[in-house]
Amino acid sequence: MNGKVVVITGASGGIGAATATTIAAEGASVVLVARRETELRAVAARCGANAFPVVADATVRADVRRVAREAILRFGHVDIWMNNVGRGITRPPSALTDEDIDDMMRVNIKSVLYGVQEILPHFKERKSGHIINVSSMLGRIPFAMVRSAYSGAKHFLNALTAMFREEMRESHPGIQISLVSPGVVRTDFGLNAMHGGPDSRQFPGSQSAEEVAAVIANVIVTRAADVYTLPGAHQRVAEYYASIGADA
């Protein structure tokens, strides 16, 4: 980890902040990206001298382009780009509006698309690089009906990640695209969902942001392609699809 330059979007709290502090403690330089300046600078202070906060909106392509430019200017290069911005929703599918769908796509898909597309030229030039997209168990199993559009967005993200990975495997094999799928994490995710929602901290079987960050730190080291953060998650996914007859 020592000497790695890592860009993290959504770094002002939750998984992003926990990952930043974890890998900074292991010697990484971190570029912290979020809209909330006060919170972002507090995370940067915890990360130490090699933290570079950049106030930006990951759903705005021009902002993402600026982040890439400033990160490279500050550290000379970028090794890892972590797309971590996301937002949930509390609304059943029959009640979804155009605005609901547009917001889920803007936050959960466009922020990732912009991040990948804006850093890829730099990675291609260097013939190496690592992109980490943070997804969700809801991108594998649609088990929370009121998270309908969020679950759909994360399924989209999973497919997009796989296609980017295949594209890079053929043209630039030194560039890896990883997917990380947490379950319920004890953050403000539920409280910040569109239309409100239950506090994620209330659910059993949840993980702390620090536990998820430890998995992501390991992904940086191993460059694993597809990782769950909860033990037994892979089996749970297999059992779900078996239960609905998907193997018939």
- Please give the positions annotated as active site: 150
Of 174, 156, 155, nearest to 165 by C-alpha is 174
- Looking at residue 154, its amino acid is K
Q: How far apart are CA 158 and CA 160, in angstroms?
A: 5
């007859």: which residue's tokens? 245
Alpha-carbon distance values, 124 to 4, 66, 177 (Å): 17, 18, 13
- For the chain, helix, strand, coil in percent to 5 are 50, 15, 35
- Rounded to the nearest 5°, which phi and psi values hold at 227? -135, 135
Q: How far apart are CA 209 and CA 118, in angstroms?
A: 27
- 207, 14 Cβ separation under 8 angstroms: no
Of 90, 73, 66, 49, nearest to 9 by C-alpha is 66
